[in-house]
Chain A
């Protein structure tokens, strides 16, 4: 497998104090990390691509750790997560799918116990493409208060032969969540769903 080539990284963290309603005692943090890497399969159809997932594993773990660090350093306050990929135009959507396992498991490892599936999205796009990365609760996918998304993108990426791999995390529910449904404190099945 070709060596992983990283061109740049972007970390962004939002502190949300309110959205027109009461000011929160503790601001909600919404963080994202984007790493722009060379797509080793750009420009051709390559039947066997799974080996690249091994190369992405250490990157996933580093990204998860770096994002937690940028959000204050305490993994125990992370309550929501998501992941995504933007594949440059010389690649195919299937290349973006290579991020599922390394990105998801790296984030779960960094967070300790995280039972829910990591929600994800992906697309092929040009330089400047933005992606709305979905967010759900780390232990139970049906927790309604934590459904969210974080928009990410870079004006100069991904170039045609690149892909941007993305992890996002939040420290809590939407800032004025009041749409009902399963609450985080009512999770009981521990099956990753409810």
Chain B
């Protein structure tokens, strides 16, 4: 089953100054959001395989949209995250089926490598609700400069029978990181952690 997509929205946020300090180069975060029909809205279905396949498809589609919107090479992506918000006729497990089994591998192809776990969040929701997409470094989860998040919302989604699926990709960490910890320069980037 392929995703029945009603709309795709792409957001790019660029920060040029923070607390009066110039950020050079600016930090940039992108989030691509697909609003899809929930094939299992209103009924309990045991086998969620079709949603897992939709997750794989959206890993490619949304990951690529983010990288294109940032105008970067896949190798220049630095952090990523994924989230889903399920309309009221669905269940939280639908979000899990989209996000966890199959979305990660194709997303990693779009950002080259991606040794680290893809940070995620999920919730039930309604049109206009805010979804906070967590962000972590794509190759080493402990890189402290890149722990962040990006808020997205669409005033008309998710409707009751829809699911909003979001993938976020950045080419940078927080604007003024200074809380120590592992940095990108010091990471190994092989085990996904450090």
Interface of A with B (CB < 8 Å)?
A: 5-20, 27, 70, 130, 151, 154-155
Contacts and interface: CB of A to CB of B under 8 A. Distances in A.
B9 A155 contact: no
A121 to B, nearest CB: 15
B72 interface: no
Nearest to A19: B6
B188 interface: no
Interface string B117-156: 0000000000000100000000000000000000100110
Interface string B158-170: 0000000000000
B11 A15 contact: no
B10 A12 contact: yes
Given A7-B16, A9-B13, A10-B14, 15 more contacts: A6-B17, A8-B14, A8-B15, A8-B17, A8-B26, A9-B14, A10-B12, A11-B69, A12-B12, A13-B10, A14-B154, A15-B7, A16-B7, A17-B8, A151-B155
Please report whether the interface of chain A is mostly helix, strand, loop or mixed according to DSSP: strand
Contacts of A14: 7-10, 154
A11 B12 contact: yes
For the side of the interface on B, what is the size category? 20 to 34
Interface of B: 5-18, 26, 69, 130, 151, 154-155
B9 A12 contact: yes
B16 A15 contact: no
Given A70-B69, A151-B155, A7 B6 contact: no
A12 B10 CA distance: 5
A17 B5 contact: yes
Contacts of B154: 14
Contacts of A155: 130, 151
B13 A7 contact: no
Contacts of A20: 6
A7 B151 contact: no
A15 B62 CA distance: 12
A176 to B, nearest CB: 11
Nearest to A69: B71
Given A17-B5, A18-B6, A70-B69, A12 B11 contact: yes
A65 B26 CA distance: 19
Contacts of B26: 8
B11 A10 contact: yes
Contact of A6 (B8, B16, B151): B16
B69 A5 contact: no
Contacts of B8: 14-15, 17
Contacts of A27: 7
5 contacts: A6-B17, A8-B14, A12-B9, A16-B6, A70-B69
